[in-house]
Amino acid sequence: MKRQPARPLKEQPLRQLPLHNKAAFVGMGSELRGDDAAGVVIVKRLAELAKSGVCSRCLFINGGSAPENVLGEIRAFQPEIIVFIDAAILGEAPGTIRLIDTSREKISGVSFCTHSLPLTIIADYIRQAVPCEIFVIGIEPVDMDFRPDCALSPPVAQAAEEVIQAIADYADIM
């Protein structure tokens, strides 16, 4: 049975997050594996837009394929909201964007791509270290084949632009 298509990101809860909260956005994935680089591409672009990677209430972090390595940086920032951004096998059309509120929906049924620790373990650890809400933005990839050029497929590149715009609006950096 096919799920309903994901709502556009602009209709998702990200737009309703309280603007006074500190938020950390963590891009995950391998820049050498095609669409798996989507999360990393997104946070790098947002950090450029914010000029330093930090705006008044947002932090943009490249977690790469080992996001557990940036947990100290997240803990030091003390965000009230953490949003992981990653390529995810959602069982949807390529480029589909899905926002998951981990307090309401389990992420164990979603296959996240190439990082070393499962996202469920990382999220559980963070909840113990930093009292915060955790969200995941998953983007359905076309492929995750080895590509050293860090090029995203057209549907994932379009989805990445939509996510960048939504987060830039949220962070008020554009």
Q: Which residues pair with 99 in a beta bridge?
A: 137
CA-based nearest residue to 67, from 133, 113, 17: 113
Write the burial class of residue 4 (CB in 10 Å: 0-12 exposed, 13-18 middle, 19+ buried): exposed
Candidate from 86-90, 102-106, 122-126, 129-133 with smallest mean pLDDT = 102-106
Task: Give tens-digit pLDDT for 23-80.
Answer: 999 999 988 888 999 999 999 999 999 886 556 789 999 998 877 788 889 999 999 9
Q: What are phi and psi of 111, to 5 degrees?
A: -95, 110
Phi/psi for 23 (5° steps) reads -130, 140
What stretch of H or E contains 121?
Answer: helix 119-129
Domains of the chain: 22-171 (3.40.50.1450)
